[in-house]
Amino acid sequence: MKTLATFLVFMGIFSAHVQALAPLPPKKKVVLRPGPNGGNTTFDQLIDHSNPSLGTFPQRYWWNTTYWGGLGFPQVIFNTPGESAGDFYGDILTNETLPGLYAQAVRGAVVMLEHRYWGKSSPYQVLDTQNLTHLTLKNSIDDVVRFARTVRLPFDRSGRTNAPRAPWVMAGFSYSGALAAWINKLSPGTFWAYHASSAPVEAIHDFWQYWEPVRKGMPQNCSNDMILIADHVDKMLESDSETEIRELKAMFGLEDLQSQSDFASYWDIFPSPIARYDIFYQMCDSIQGVRPVELDPDVFRPSTYTPTPIDPEREVSADGVGLQRALGNYAEWFTNEFLPLKRCQGPEYSQPNNTNSVECLVWDNATNPKFTDLSVDNPWNRQWIWMVCNEPFFYFQTAAPPGHPSLSSRANNAEYYDRLCRNFFPSQRQAKSSASNGRTAEALNAMTDGWFVNTTRLLWVNGEFDPWRSASVSSEFRPGGPLQSTDDTPVYLIKGARHCNDLFTWWGERNQEIGLVQQQAVAKMSGWVKDFYNSTKRHQAGWAW
């Protein structure tokens, strides 16, 4: 299993500034083997739902019938892990997660479908521009609907548990939460109810608002110092002093990055806060000088190097430590604990054994070897980058506009990421990304309704300090304000919570606010499932025994 740190940063610039962060994998890899209560198999899925003549590909899915009551209890709790392979999400099928709690409460089965183009569910093994043209939001929606209606589940070959004959519930988290809302909007009538957690339903090109929940939720002394550092970086990059710019880059081990945009986009790739004391808060404590940096033995240091003095007992000022100390402390943490996770070592690089190389971080150059890794298991999540550039979701996590406090350098702008989209996906025969053809975020939002998507029996959950909140219905930037809760569309905003914090039950056990929302969600979903059986509409849906 990937550690928390590597999961957050492994995919590089698009992980921190574009990636729609999937929920963290469970604490351990859980693979349900074939047996009386669960297993995995494949479903023959259409490559292109608008052109069935292209054929099919095997799409993996997992199931667990531990809580299922049998044919008299046909409801299915359905989930897709979204923009990642399904192997690491076995716990989704158990009552260690909210989907499992739903199943336990209503005596349902749990099914998890791997998203097309990830894991072992890709119709093509070479992900060039031409082959990626079938990875679209429409096909992804149609995959889920076709599966729910036509699959012959191993525990019921009769089809009596298929939607809409049985009350299927779709529970999604992060991108898959947005997918749940978009299915409700664009392809209603298959699923009976929905759960959408941390769902970024509004496509945003210049997504500077991403950092606002982070800024407001992080320790104030840390945010004050990070803003000072960002302003300092901007002043240096805007100066005419090549010497000062080179020295600034060298502080962060990035002196070999010639592009100012590459540097501006990398020095501030600090991880978003996910848990109570994760790498993010360790970074803040190191900036404030109350936590020693774990020195990496492979990081080059001049003979004059001396570590920053640490005093864990000293009182930390709410104002921060100021630019000079913060800059040095942050650079020390960055070069020793963060940058080494991106080591550019491998046969594809000119210096394959150089532990201090940053060659793989040179993105403002179409010759970067990472642009040519077209494999399904590529380390940069090429599939998601395609969806970001093609739908286009965008979600480019940029600096705040002038006059607004910014945690990021203002050289980190949307135009830079537009260039990266073109570098990743050059035109191939007649194929090119939709963004290259001029499609905009506004066009996608017109199709999905974005922040204003109208839903039925959909339960929204968002975290107060989740950076993705700004693209959700609970966004403070949503015209008219955050979506208000109703009986048919309840909205839960968890105080102090972050990304998908309602997913795992152990978070609810440790945090009263999260636990309460989980209990309320289970009660609400149980009521909706009961309504299915009490409603005469089930006969119209073809219910028959």
Q: Which two tokens stand for residue 177?
A: 């939460």
CB atoms within 10 A of CB 149: 15
End-to-end Cα distance, the chain: 44
| 273 secondary structure, DSSP code | P
> Which run of H or of E encompasses 170?
strand 168-173
Distance CA 109, CA 462 (A): 26
Distance CA 109, CA 161 (A): 10
Q: Which residues are 57's β-sheet partners?
A: 45
Is residue 39 exposed (0-12), middle (13-18) or buried (19+ Cβ within 10 Å)?
Answer: middle
Of 101, 122, 100, the closest CA to residue 112 belongs to: 100
Residue with tokens 């090429």: 382
Distance CA 46, CA 283 (A): 46
- In angstroms, the Cα distances linking 269 to 9, 58, 361 are 8, 37, 12
Distance CA 148, CA 142 (A): 10
Alpha helices in 267-410 (DSSP H): 279-287, 323-333, 382-390
Q: Which two tokens stand for residue 506?
A: 């152990």
Distance CA 109, CA 100 (A): 9
Task: Yes or no: say if 521 and 461 are a contact pair by the CB < 8 Å rule.
Answer: yes
Is residue 478 exposed (0-12), middle (13-18) or buried (19+ Cβ within 10 Å)?
Answer: middle
Residue type, 63: W
Sheet containing 38-46: give its strands across.
38-46, 56-64, 109-113, 76-79, 168-173, 193-197, 458-463, 491-494
Distance CA 59, CA 40 (A): 11
The tally of CA atoms less than 13 A away on the side-chain side of residue 289 is 20
What residues are labeled active site?
A: 174, 466
Cα angle vertex 518, ends 69, 198, to 5°?
110
Distance CA 525, CA 195 (A): 9
CA 515 from centroid of its chain's CA atoms? 22
Alpha helices in 273-379 (DSSP H): 279-287, 323-333
